[in-house]
Amino acid sequence: MSVQEKAQRMIDIFSEMNDKNKWTDDRILMMAASVYVVKNREFDAERYTDLCEYIKQESGAFSYLRSTIRFSVAAWLDTRFDDPREAFQTYNRVYDRMIEKGFKRTTFTYIAALVMLQDDESELDECMDRSLTVYERMRSEHPFITSKDDYPLAVLLAQQEGEIDTLIYRMEEIYSGLNANGFWKGNNLQFISQMLSLDTIHDAETLVNRATHLSDQLKNASLKTKSMHYPEIGMLTLTDETDRLEDIRMIRDQLNGEKKYRWHRDLNYKLAVQLVVSESLQEDSVAEAGLFTSMEVIMQAQQTAIMAGAVGAAAASNGGA
Q: Does some domain include residue 268? A: yes
In angstroms, the CA 317 to CA 6 distance is 34
By C-alpha distance, which of 147, 149, 144, 209 is closest to 173?
209
Query: What rounded mean pLDDT belongs to the chain?
Result: 87
Is 15 exposed, middle or buried (CB count within 10 Å of its CB: 0-12, 13-18, 19+)?
middle
Domain extent, residue 134, equals: 3-316
Q: Does some domain include residue 239? A: yes
Q: Does some domain include residue 213? A: yes
**Which of 18-27, 141-150, 170-179, 271-280 holds the top average pLDDT?**
170-179
> pLDDT (tens digit, 9 = 90+) per residue, 268-315?
998 999 898 887 666 654 454 444 444 566 666 666 666 666 665 555
Q: Does some domain include residue 209? A: yes
Q: Does some domain include residue 321? A: no
Give the dihedral sign, CA 158/163/164/170.
Answer: negative
Q: Does some domain include residue 219? A: yes
Cβ neighbours for 216, distance < 8 A, ≥ 6 positions apart: none
In angstroms, the CA 85 to CA 190 distance is 35
Q: Does some domain include residue 95? A: yes
Q: Does some domain include residue 260? A: yes
In angstroms, the CA 129 to CA 154 distance is 11
Give the pTM: 0.88
102: left (phi over 0), alpha (psi -120 to 50) or beta: left
Number of domains in the chain: 1
